[in-house]
Structure 1
Amino acid sequence: MSTSDARVRRPRTEGDGRARRGPTMGDVAERAGVSRTTVSFVLNDRADAGIPDETRRRVIDAAAALGYRPNAGARALAARRSDWYGIVTEIVTAPFAVDVIKGAQDRALEQGKFLLIASSESEVATEAAGIEKLLEQRIEGLLYAATWHRAVHVPDIVREVPAVLVNCFDADGSLPAVVPDEVGGGRRATQRLLDAGHTRIGLVTLDPAIPASVGRRQGYEEALDAAGIPVDTSLVVAGDATADGGYSAASELLDRADRPTAIFCGNDRMAMGAYDAIKERGLTIPGDVAVVGFDNQELIAAYLRPRLTTVALPFQEMGARGVDMLAALTAGQSIGTEIVTIDCPLLERSSV
């Protein structure tokens, strides 16, 4: 067939030549005066969503007036048969990102599922766009992962599919989450120092307002209390999560006449700074001062000399457990809005 005989179908265009797009779910939401989530629930006939009849009618009328028709992908999304899970995260380029993603991907593959990844880069607009793209790919469920353990406010569209938060928790308490056991990790780090015979143990803390700092300090105090050792708050010094902060905090502890014989640092970067403060004073590790860190940042903990004994954050395990929770939700099981904690193991090296 010659090109002159071929008939090419071209998309209808607006007056300026641009292709005319069909109405979207967002257009229906705007016309009906409701959220996009409400439109999704109504058009996917979610009987469990508790949408009032009047609102349902308004959405249906708006969709009819605009000529909106759910495409095949949307119907598959409603049926939850795509075999894809999504993960939206700000941590794609962070040190621990590969562990969260690997844990989630490996567990998803065990279940015959695949993982789609969207980076949010900590930007609200980018995050919303990433979630939207994942929904367009008909994901069955969504993992929402954070760089550091904290409360988050998730976009409403997250709730269009089963969702689980990883290394963070919903500030409104409406979504299930999986987080590290900060208290248990702090207790384990302190107990290791107690088992080595130390009774005067300093603590270099993170920002006192964040869950990691609160939990790790609680674990430290619980371990001391269980050993019958009164907590000396003068041995607790803030280190602001940096190597410089760890150096300053450790220096303050070591310059005391009654200096501690061991220091538990709230993260490995502060432990690196504490190493400098200890060695600068002609002291040895662990002969004069023992040190335990937290996080297991491989580029720090394994390459300090002596190598750093530290508590590991369970990123792979959190990713895997998040997928398990998604699988339960997509199977119609109710897991409520529970926050599951994952054990933080101690990695023994040479600093105690």
Structure 2
Amino acid sequence: MSNKNVGIKDVAVAAGVSVTTVSHVLNEVSYARVSPETRDKVRSVAEELGYGPNRLAQALRTQRTGMLGLVSEEIATTPHAGRIILGADEAAKARGYNLMIINTPGSASLESRQADVQALLERRVDGILYATMYHRNVELPSNLGSVPSVLVDSVATAGNIAAVIPDEDGGARAAVGALLEAGHTQIGFINNTDDVPATRERLHAFRATLNEAGLDGDGAPVESELSEVQGGYEATLRILSGQDRPTALFCYNDRMAMGAYRAAAELGLTIPADLSVVGFDDQELIAANLYPGLTTVALPHYEMGAWAAEHLIDAIEGKADLDPLALHPTILGCPLVRRDSIAAPR
């Protein structure tokens, strides 16, 4: 807890340094010539005395409020994507910033989203994070560029704002690769019907990975449905009813994989003895609680939120330029999470 009666002069006296040195250390002035030992001592003394910086004075001096805005397109109400907020919030707090969140429906009009951004600007946020529930291209409000801004899990249709997105291609290759490593050569794909980047990129990676393994990726069975449990169930029934039934399935997401489990059970197939299944997303409430546990690919929600907050703060503090990052989105890896849904084919 900070002690309002302790000032910067008290810290300077107790540490045996000048007020300027204390100011440089606590405000992390990069160009200040202060030894690491002195920096450690000043921070230690400040903590012991319970010194807390005067935020109002800082704001007047730096013209910054220490607040970041986050426009959340439904992620605040979505458990797995909500880790974007956790990552952004923890990264912001580590740098002395707080997060102000506005949640908006994914179907909100451009005018409505512009009003949300304006509400944050009127509260003088230093920068804005704009996050979507799933990876997609998004038309942004024109006022978003009024302060430094970073997109999370989305890319601007105009391509003019820094963005961080998941590695859809690498994640899908890891999923199919795990099935190939287990010895499967007849692999099907349960895909989404929505025209979003993940649908296209995961399908391309599925086919390319099989082709590179010497298999017929272009001829491999693919069934598409809505990316929900029922969609996965219906697509799996169709794909397993074909003449050359796959011994393994790569599912677009964990919800569709849940539907695949149900379809397999109705057909008298045991997972993974008769059918291996791998998903995508690592929605813990689903993947870890299916029986057997679902091997899947994790979306880096937390990491994307933290990356975005850290780079936004660097831009706010003049330590980095976001313009070069706007040329190409930054791609973060999607690691494979192994559980028990893959086995060698019989």
TM range (shorter): 0.7 to 0.9
- CA deviation map 1:19-51 (0-9, x unaligned): xxxxxxxxxxxxxxxxxxxxxxxxxxxxxxxxx
Matches within 5 A, 1:141-180: 141-180=127-166
Give 1:281's match in structure 2, choosing from 261, 267, 272.
267
Matches within 5 A, 1:32-181: 80-90=63-73, 91-122=75-106, 123-124=108-109, 125-181=111-167
Partner of 2:3: none
Give 1:348's match in structure 2, choosing from 338, 343, 346.
338
SS at match of 1:295: coil
Q: Distance in 2 between matches of 1:325 and 1:215?
A: 26
- CA deviation map 1:234-266 (0-9, x unaligned): 501112202121111111111123100000000
1:79 CA drift (Å): 5.5
CA contact (8 A) 2:152 2:304 kept: yes
Using CA pairs below 8 Å that are at least 6 residues apart, which structure has the higher relative contact order? 2
Q: Distance in 1 between matches of 2:244 and 2:224?
A: 19
CA contact (8 A) 1:216 1:266 kept: yes
1:162 CA drift (Å): 0.4
SS at match of 2:339: coil
Q: Which amino acid is the alignment partner of residue 105 of structure 1?
A: D
Matches within 5 A, 1:213-224: 213-224=199-210
Q: Distance in 1 between matches of 2:116 and 2:140?
A: 13
Change (3 A) 1:77 1:143: farther
- CA deviation map 1:271-321 (0-9, x unaligned): 111111111111110001100011112221122111111111110000011
Matches within 5 A, 1:297-308: 297-308=283-294
Partner of 2:245: 259
Give 2:297's match in structure 1, choosing from 311, 317, 320.
311
Q: Which is greater in Rg? A: 1
Change (3 A) 1:280 1:312: same
Partner of 2:321: 334
Structure 1 residue runs without a partner (length 5+): 1-72
1:213 CA drift (Å): 0.9
Partner of 1:64: none
Partner of 1:33: none
Q: Which amino acid is the alignment partner of residue 321 of structure 2?
A: S
CA contact (8 A) 1:246 1:271 kept: yes
- CA deviation map 1:30-74 (0-9, x unaligned): xxxxxxxxxxxxxxxxxxxxxxxxxxxxxxxxxxxxxxxxxxx9x
Q: Distance in 1 between matches of 2:253 and 2:177?
A: 17
1:78 CA drift (Å): 11
CA contact (8 A) 1:80 1:330 kept: no
SS at match of 1:294: coil
- CA deviation map 1:80-139 (0-9, x unaligned): 521111101122111224301100011111212111111122323543332222112221
Give 2:307's match in structure 1, choosing from 312, 317, 321.
321
SS at match of 2:279: strand
CA contact (8 A) 2:269 2:275 kept: yes
Q: Distance in 2 between matches of 1:299 and 1:314?
A: 16
Q: Give the fraction of aligned pairs with identical amino acids, expressed as a percent.
A: 44
Change (3 A) 1:82 1:299: same
Partner of 1:29: none
CA RMSD of aligned residues (A): 1.9
CA contact (8 A) 2:279 2:296 kept: yes
The normalised TM-score by structure 1 is 0.75
- Ranges of 4+ aligned residues in structure 1 off by more than 6 Å: none
Structure 1 range deviating more: 87-96 or 153-162: 87-96
1:208 CA drift (Å): 5.5
Q: Which amino acid is the alignment partner of residue 173 of structure 2?
A: R
- CA deviation map 1:200-249 (0-9, x unaligned): 10001112521011111122123212212121435011122021211111
